[in-house]
Homo-oligomer: A and B are copies of this chain.
Amino acid sequence: MPELRKDPIHGRWVIISTERSRRPSDFAVEEHRPAGGFCPLCEGNEDRTPPEIIAFRDNGTPPNSPGWTLRVVPNKFPALRIEGDLDREGEGIYDKMNGIGAHEVVIETPRHEETLATLPLKNVRNVLLAYRDRTTDLRRDQRLRYVLVFKNHGVAAGASLEHSHSQIIALPIIPRRLSEEIEGAKTYFHYKDRCVFCDIIRQELQQKNRIVTENKSFVSIAPFASRFPFETWILPKTHHPSFEHMDLSQYEPAAQILSDTLRRINRVLTDPPYNYIIHTSSFPELDAEHYHWHIEIMPKLTKVAGFEWGTGFYINPTPPEDAAEYLREAK
């Protein structure tokens, strides 16, 4: 059973994963993981993943067989497990709980050579709808407090499989940085009676020099205090605290701007490794006024030195105004 442990100084929770336990000799292997070879996520290999939770399929094709455009399956090596009770206990001055949660994989396409950036718009929209459906379903479990949707693309960004996929982790806690972000937005709201993200959008649309692209409903920007070169945020122009509760009509423009932004990043940086995370409120009724859901995309272009995540202090060699200009001009 995996274990959740809390650092007594920072209050951050860490998963100590027993399912994936690694001995010293296991780490060297990872560096040389082959990109090719057998792929358990490809069409035809449905029996090599755990049974699907949901799928978008041609009419009449049975579950766990070919004929799908998207599948969601449990992670074969989950960081957290859904079975059991959420026991919280102390160990001297330390706090821990058992690793209750869920860990799922969204297989974005049946074809190995496609990526989210090359998929047709309709399929990108389906990926976002799958995020919504799974988030909504997992949030019904009262033990779980946050559903984290993210994507690792490329080995350098932490992807262990080449085939285009994203991940969903449902957690019994709210990750530290996300609760800090919500608190930061709340503090700003209390001071100004305005949403900080709405203020950012207003200023960026006026200044224009950090805009990457936009459509009727969304804007994509290089944030003023970008931590990483070519960091890009996608924000809905209309204030809304939660990704999974937004109006169904918004998933098409959301898919359009995500696809457009990823294509620009691919063109300028030649298919770089990247991560994205959906930042959403777990408790939209509480965060309705001050929080504003968005997607943060982080291309992995530099080796992030340990001191950067140890200190929360970043040195970014590419001014976001330059990054936005490159991405804006990419056709």
Contacts and interface: CB of A to CB of B under 8 A. Distances in A.
A7 interface: yes
B317 A21 contact: yes
A270 interface: yes
A60 interface: no
Interface stretch (A10-18, A45-53, A252-260): A10-18
A158 interface: yes
Contacts of A196: 8-9, 93
Interface stretch (A110-118, A121-129, A131-139, A179-187): A179-187
24 contacts: A6-B225, A8-B188, A8-B199, A12-B225, A12-B227, A13-B225, A14-B315, A15-B314, A20-B315, A20-B317, A24-B269, A27-B269, A27-B302, A93-B199, A93-B203, A148-B307, A150-B305, A152-B306, A155-B303, A157-B306, A158-B302, A158-B304, A304-B304, A309-B309
Interface of A: 3, 5-18, 20-24, 27-28, 30, 79, 91-94, 148, 150, 152, 155-158, 171, 175-178, 180-181, 184-185, 188, 196-197, 199-200, 203, 207, 223-227, 229-230, 268-270, 272, 274-277, 296, 298, 300-320, 322, 326
